[in-house]
Structure 1
Amino acid sequence: MATAETMTATSVARLQLNGAETPPKSPVSETPQVTFDPAKHLQHTPPSKVYTMNELGYPNSRGVSHVGVSEPFPLFSEEAVEQMRKEVLSQEVKAKHEYSSDLAQSQLRGFAPDCAPFVYDAWKNPETLAIISKIAGVDLVPAMDFEIGHVNLSVTSDEEKARALAYVKEQAAAGVNWEDESPIVDWHTDSYPFVCVTMLSDCTDMVGGETALRKGDGEVAKVRGPQRGSAVILQGRYIEHQALRALGTTERISMVTSFRPRSAAIKDDTVLTTVRAVSNLNELYHQFAEYRFEMLEERCRNINRYMRDQKRANRAFDTRGVRDFIREQIEFLEHMEREIVPNELVKKGVIGDSHLISDHTKQELSRRRGAAAGEE
């Protein structure tokens, strides 16, 4: 009787309001959250070579540092890469944070603060920032939280991989450069001064996958792609570049985190051209305005301190210097205003070519997009 009463009570508890019975829940063992530990998860070796802007055909004063691009270098351990992959490839991230544009077919953006605590902590950690800053030649911080851990995705099936390899052989026989016709991310300049590109895929059998850079003389140089867990640092705001297609693998997953100088005294040429159309504008605009106003606040405190010191030392008021400062801040604010385009004027997924520098690259991109449109 007691058994019958227990079964009846259990059955009643399993009934929903609509009378349907739901199966009893089986106990779920939650996987413990891995916390970023620089002692375990950073596996850094300095790059074998760092190319200056001058070596790439640009003046060293062009950007915020003399450094143009680094050779690939080990950055994260295998355990760190596995945890990053687990977070960025989750269904939640794909459902909430996937974007597509005329620049790149599949990108994951803005997910780190809410969905990827390991990724977020890895890029905010002081030891990680010290490594990135040393290679870049300037003290850097993540541009914004929204830009932490941006992911470029290229995933194919085994059948698609085989077809692509066969196509490449045909193109090679015809003397066609297949890489230039189908990049993962097309020619562009970045919105932010520096990027760190980290590979999350196994590149053992990968063919291609380099980063192409447009040099100052118009020639194209290629930097070999990083291996799994390794990274490349690029002053991408000032150098046109593209991520070339890779074969011999079913996936190419790279993580791109953007950086800006920590100091408010250094110029900030950040634009939102390549990110505005693939972002949550509420988050993007808020974070952009917030850090820029913080820069302005610090600059105003510094000029005020300078004026007080001059006054206490019985020096004449620096009329020209203060006027120059005011003009610079007006231009700083006008730049902000131009970048915060009204929401209704932003076309989702449409990047355009205003971010490009050379006419040659603009013409090449226009030709490729026109050809792609004609095939649809």
Structure 2
Amino acid sequence: MTVRRAPFTCDAWSSAELQAIVSQVAGVDLVVAFDYEIANINISVNEDASAVATVQDKPDTSAFAWHYDSFPFVHMIGGETAIRIPAGEIKKIRGPAMGTAVVMQGRYIEHQALKAQGGRERISMVIPFRPRDPSIRDELVLTGSRAISNWSELYHGFTEYRLELLEERIRLKLKEERKRVDTKRPFSVTGMTEFLAAQKDFLEATIAELTEVEEMDSC
């Protein structure tokens, strides 16, 4: 979704007030991953006329398979979710009530969407977040988005935020290096090479996500 197509929705999710609340729940300062990924709508519909009875009899049947998200954090409105904790136990998070939502580290927690109780369709809005601090390791991937997105818009949004992140990291490192000179401390070969190697890994990970796919030119 983009600001041009849905200005109210994008403004709401990008607002400082909302991001502050989500960050408080997550325990780390978060921002929306990038604009194109704002407000993904997932819809699962059971065309069976007996769907209502089936869901009520078997409320824990899945709407989507077990999976990991492409984003470090997700904020979800609507729908029901099951998560598998490290010990193997499965915990269920039923659909939040009006005015509430679920914040989850979907990139690292295996989870599954459950069918809605008492209805034929499951509708949820998912908004991906990432840490604001550029020094925190960024492991966002495009695996879950590539097959269902406009390639040009997706890749633009992804590379734009990655380059901005890299720019901020370099700016902070340059500030640190200038301060080192001012305080007459010796140059750290190890420290600088480790920093540059980390940025090289970051760029290689970015390049790996920009894969050519069939019919890309038609999007």
Question: TM-score scaled by structure 1?
Answer: 0.54
- 2:27 is aligned, of 112, 127, 137, to 137
CA-CA distance at 1:184 after TM superposition? 2.1
The answer (yes or no) to whether the contact 1:151–1:253 under 8 Å persists in 2 is yes
Alpha-carbon distance between aligned partners in 2 of 1:301 and 1:154, rounded to the nearest angstrom: 45
* Count of residues paired in the alignment: 216
- Following TM superposition, by how much is the alpha carbon of 1:311 offset from its aligned partner in structure 2, in angstroms? 1.4
Pair 1:147 & 2:10 matched: no
Highest relative contact order (Cα 8 Å, sep 6+), 1 or 2?
2
For 2:194 and 2:44, locate their aligned partners in 1 and report how far apart those are by CA, in whole Å. 48
1:338 to 208, 211, 215: 208
Listed one character per residue, the Cα deviations across residues 97-128 of structure 1 (whole Å, up to 9, x for unaligned) are xxxxxxxxxxxxx3x42322221111011111
Does residue 298 of structure 1 match 2:168? Answer: yes
Structure 2 match to 1:323: 193
Query: Given the superposition, is the C-alpha separation of residues 168 and 195 from structure 1 closer, same or farther in structure 2, using an over 3 Å criterion?
Result: closer
Q: Distance in 1 between matches of 2:5 and 2:98?
A: 22
* Residue of structure 2 aligned with 1:285, choices 155, 164, 167: 155
Q: 8 Å contact 1:164–1:247 — kept in the other structure?
A: no
Contact 1:146 1:284 in 2 (8 A): yes
The structural deviation recorded for 1:228 is 3.3
Give the residue type in structure 1 aligned to 2:195: F
Q: Which residue in the other structure is 2:70 paired with?
A: 191
Letter aligned with residue 203 of structure 2: L
Distance 1:307 1:119 in 2: 41
- Secondary structure at 2:143 match in 1: coil
Match of 2:51 among 152, 164, 168: 164
Is this contact kept in 2: 1:198–1:229, CA < 8 A? no
Question: What's the counterpart of residue 5 of structure 2?
Answer: 115
| Alpha-carbon contact 2:30-2:129 (below 8 Å) kept | yes
Output the amino acid matched with 1:210. E
1:8-157 equivalence runs, <5 A: 110=1, 112-155=2-45
Alpha-carbon distance between aligned partners in 1 of 2:59 and 2:22, rounded to the nearest angstrom: 33
Alignment RMSD, CA only? 2.1
Q: Distance in 1 between matches of 2:191 and 2:145?
A: 35
Q: Which runs of 5+ in 1 are unaligned?
A: 1-109, 200-208, 347-376
| Residues 178-225 of structure 1: CA deviation (Å, up to 9, x unaligned) | 734xx22321111111111012xxxxxxxxx53110111222111222
Aligned-residue offset at 1:345:
8.7
What SS does the aligned partner of 2:125 have?
Answer: strand
CA contact (8 A) 2:52 2:119 kept: no
Work out the percentage of aligned pairs sharing the same amino acid: 48
Give the match for residue 227 of structure 1: 97
Whether the 8 Å contact between 2:52 and 2:120 is mirrored in structure 1 is no
Assess, with a 3 A threshold, how the Cα gap between structure 1 residues 319 and 220 changes in structure 2: closer, same or farther: same
Alignment partner of 1:216 is 2:95: no
Does the Cα contact within 8 Å between 1:192 and 1:270 map onto a contact in 2?
yes
- TM-score in terms of structure 2 length: 0.90
Give the C-alpha shift of residue 168 in structure 1: 5.4
The answer to whether the 8 Å contact 2:142/2:209 transfers is yes
Aligned counterparts of 2:13 and 2:167: Cα–Cα separation in 1: 25
- Structure 2 unpaired stretches of 5+: none
Equivalents in 2 of 1:156, 1:274: separation in Å?
22
